[in-house]
Amino acid sequence: MTSGTGEAGRTSGESGGTADSAGGRDENAVSRFVERFAAEMTEAGMQRMAARVFAALLADDDASMTSADLGRQLQISPAAVSGAINYLTQVRMVGRERDPGSRRDRYRLHDEIWYATFANRDQVLTRWERTLRDGARSLGEDTPAGARLAETAEFFEFMQAELVGVLDRWSESRKTSG
């Protein structure tokens, strides 16, 4: 593995972007991508630092970096890295691991990150649907609030069914193209 400060002298995270004239990575292009994608994720509701850390890992060839790597690349404090990693591990977008013999944690994107992320959302939708249906019954399904909760539960039930189908089709497409 060449993450961290590797034999080639690159630090993890110096990946993505366009090749420069010497055949290496254009670090400015990498940085622009990381910040642009992080801004898109922040706009969608993710915490800003978590989005930046996630985008940096996504742009890394090994999808794995240490806290020091992330801090250097993103020019953020260890505390900011820690907060972002805590959030990303909690929502199961990133895992912690250690290289044999090392005391440093490495943070790695899970394989099939998008599939896993949306599959986890399927479980969330199921729980929300159940809770909303209970709420509709508690409030009275014939009340405006109860009807609103029931309609929201129906929406989540629909989304869950659609998401299951989408994930199944994605999995099949990966088998045939891989």
Tell whether 20 is covered by a domain: no
Average pLDDT, the chain: 85
* Number of structural domains the chain divides into: 2
Residues 157, 127 share a domain: yes
Domain of residue 99 covers 27-109
Average pLDDT over residues 24-47: 93
Three-state SS for 39? Answer: helix
How far apart CA 21 and CA 72 sit, in angstroms, is 24
Residues 117, 134 share a domain: yes
Give the H or E element holding residue 104.
none
Q: For residue 66, what are the β-bridge partners?
A: 106
Q: What's residue 163's pLDDT?
A: 87
Region label for 71, one of left (φ > 0), alpha (ψ between -120 and 50) or beta (otherwise): alpha
Residues 120, 95 share a domain: no
User: pLDDT-derived band of residue 1, with 50, 70 and 90 as boundaries?
Assistant: very low
Tell whether 75 is covered by a domain: yes
Percent of the chain having pLDDT more than 70?
87
